[in-house]
Structure 1
C-alpha cells in the first residue's frame, strides 16, 4: 500500500488493547486520500477501473466508506462513476490541462492576499530537507521520490494559508494538475529536477523573509513553467 507522510490520516489503533480486539476500520477519508494519491502519482492511470469489492477487501471495510471515497473523488474530477458499469479514473486532455493550470496560476497569485500565518523555523527546516532530497535526484531520478517531494512541498506551502475556502479549491486543482505534470516529468527528468530545486530555493528565501506576496509569485511562476513543459512535450 503506497502512503505519503502527512497526506492521509492513519486508521486508529489502540496500542493498549488485547490482540483479540479488532482495530478501528479505515475511514472514508483515509481511503479517499490513498486512492487520490495513487491516481495523482499515476499508479492508477487514466481509464483504470476501481472496483468496490477490491477496495473493500484491501482495507477490510464494507462498501459504505468505499462508496463515500469514490463520491469525493468524483466531485474532485478524478474518477467517473458510471452507474451499472463501474468507477474509472478520468482521462485528461490538453484543453482541460490548460484550463486547470491557468486557474492554478491565478490562484497562486492570491496567496499573498489571503489570511496566512507567519513562517516558522520548522517550515524552513521542512523546505531545507525537501531541497536536500531534490538535489539527490540529480544523480539518480526516482519518479516516486520526485512525486513525494512535490506533494510535500504543496502541503508545506499550503499550510501557511488560513482560508479554508481557498484551500479546498487550491487542493482540488493541484490534484487535477498533478497527473499531467508527473507524467511529463518522467520524460524530462533533468529539467524537472532543475525546476524543482530552483523553486524550493526561491521559496526558502521568501519564507525566511516572511514575504507572502513573493511566495505566491514564485508558485505562480513555476506553475506556468510546468505548463509550458507539458505543452512542449505534447
Structure 2
C-alpha cells in the first residue's frame, strides 16, 4: 500500500505548472500599460519613430519597449538614455524577429532569446524579465521554453493593428478608445513602420486621461 501512495505523490510533485501568457494587468484599476514593439529583422534595419518617441518623452509617459536584439544593437544609445529616465523598460522580442519562432528548433529558439537578452543587457545594463513572441505566434512547447529561460510572456487582450498599411490615424484612435478597458496591455509599434501611431497616440492618451486612466510600465504592474 505504501508504494502506490509514493508513486502518486511523486507524480503530483513532478507535473509541470502550465505556462501562461499575460494578456492584461492583474488589476481592475483604471490603468493601462503602453507597450511598443521595436522590431528589426535580418536585412531590415530599423530605428525609432522620432515623432512618437519625442511625444512620449515630452509627456513623461511610462512605457515598455519590446526590442529585438538587432534593434537593440542598432539603437543602443537611445535605449540607454531612455532607461536612465526611469520611465522606460526594455524587454525581449527575440533577436531577429522570426515570424514563426515556434517552428525553429529548441536550440534556435533559445538562441533567439539569449542573443536578444545579451544585446539589451549591453545597451541598458538590465536583463529583460518579459518576452513577446514575434507576430504573437507561439505554441505550447515554445511558451514552455521561454518560461524555462526565466522570462514571462506578455502579449495583449486585443491588438491595435497599428502597422496595417493605409491605416488612418482617426480609425486607430477610434478603435483603441472603443476597445480599451482597465488593466489592458496596449500594443503599438515604435520602429518607424506604423505611421498612424504618432498622430493618433496623443489623442488616445488625452482621452484616456480625461476618462481617469493612468499609465504604468509592465514591471510596475506584473509580478
TM-score, length basis structure 1 = 0.26
Relative to total residues, which structure has the larger helix share, 1 or 2?
1
Higher RCO (CA < 8 A, seq sep 6+): 2
Between Structure 1 and Structure 2, the one with more strand by share is 2
